[in-house]
Amino acid sequence: MYRRKRICKQFCVFAFPTLLVLALVLGYSIDWSVEQERSGPHGRTDEDDGGEDLLEDFVRGMGSLSSFDYDQPVNLTNNQTRTNVSEPFAKATYANVPRALYRFAPEVFDAFPSKFLPNIRSPCWTDPRTEELNCLPSFFVAGFPKCGTSDVYAKLYRHPGIVRTKKKEPHWWTRNRFNGSLLEYTGNFQTLAKRISANASASKNLISGDASVATAWKNDNWRLFFPTANEPLYVTAELIHQVLPKSKIIFLLRDPIERAFSDYLYINFLRRRKNGWEGPKVNVITFHRDVLMSIAILKACMGKGRFLRSCSYDYAESLRARITVSHYVVYLRDWLQAFPRDQIFVLQLEDWKGNCEKWLPKLYSFLEQEKLSDETIREICKKKMKNGPRFNRKVGGELLNITRSALDQWYAPFNEELAKFLRDNDM
Stretch 96-108: mean pLDDT, rounded? 89
Q: Report the alpha-carbon distance of residue 312 to residue 235 in Å, rounded.
A: 13
Q: Report the alpha-carbon distance of residue 295 to residue 282 in Å, rounded.
A: 18
Taking every pair of C-alpha atoms in the chain, what is the biggest distance, in angstroms? 100
Percent pLDDT > 70 in the chain is: 75
pLDDT in tens, 182-237: 889 999 999 999 999 998 888 889 999 999 999 999 999 899 999 999 999 999 99
Q: Report the alpha-carbon distance of residue 75 to residue 4 in Å, rounded.
A: 45
pLDDT in tens, 292-325: 999 999 999 998 878 899 999 999 999 999 999 9
Spatial contact of 162 and 211, defined as CB atoms under 8 Å apart: no
**146: nearest Cα among 25, 258, 242:** 258
Domain residues of the chain, as ranges? 113-424
Architecture of domain 113-424: 3-Layer(aba) Sandwich (3.40)
According to the model, what pLDDT value does residue 397 have? Answer: 76
Check the CA dihedral 27-32-33-35 and report its sign: positive
Residue 32 has pLDDT above 70, yes or no: no
Question: H or E stretch including 250?
Answer: strand 248-253
Global confidence as pTM: 0.80
Radius of gyration over every alpha carbon of the chain, rounded to an integer in angstroms: 25
Spatial contact of 129 and 357, defined as CB atoms under 8 Å apart: no
According to the model, what pLDDT value does residue 69 have? Answer: 30
User: Residue type for 407, please?
Assistant: L
Residue 285 has pLDDT above 60, yes or no: yes
Q: Report the alpha-carbon distance of residue 264 to residue 296 in Å, rounded.
A: 17
**422: nearest Cα among 232, 235, 253:** 253
**Tell me, what DSSP letter sits at residue 211?**
-
Residue 54 has pLDDT above 70, yes or no: no
Question: At residue 375, what are phi and psi to the nearest 5 degrees?
Answer: -65, -40
